[in-house]
Structure 1
Amino acid sequence: MYKDVLRSMENVEIFPIISLIIFILFFIGITIWAMRASKEYVDHMSALPMDDDNELTENQP
């Protein structure tokens, strides 16, 4: 049933190409962002899961 629906659409072959291009651009963008991130930022973010919860609750009213 679905094959017939897709066969009846004109230019349906463009959708996988567009999806692949969007994925590749997103992956390249994230890779560039990760390479350009400062070491201090990465160290700070990697230490966040190990921080005590006391620091977070002390600052809240």
Structure 2
Amino acid sequence: MFKFVKGHLETIENIEIYPIISLLIFFLFFSALFYWVFTAKKDYIKEVSNLPLDNQNDQEL
């Protein structure tokens, strides 16, 4: 099965660019996420972390 896929992919021109692009997208996304995590305001993180426990917003039907 793998031989068939590998043989088929080798016939496509410029196919080697796709793994590079996907690695670049992966790296940029997680770098941006890492940056956001360390620069987020602590008050915002605390407020969002307490949302599931906040019962004041619950309304009875």
What is the TM-score normalised by the length of structure 1? 0.79
Q: Which runs of 5+ in 1 are unaligned?
A: none
Higher normalized helix content (fraction of residues): 1
- Distance in 1 (CA, whole Å) between partners of 2:23 and 2:58 is 41
Aligned length: 57
- Distance in 1 (CA, whole Å) between partners of 2:16 and 2:30 is 22
- Report sequence identity in percent: 44
Moved over 6 A (4+): none
Amino acid at match of 2:47: H
Q: Which runs of 5+ in 2 are unaligned?
A: none
Match in the other structure for 1:40:
43
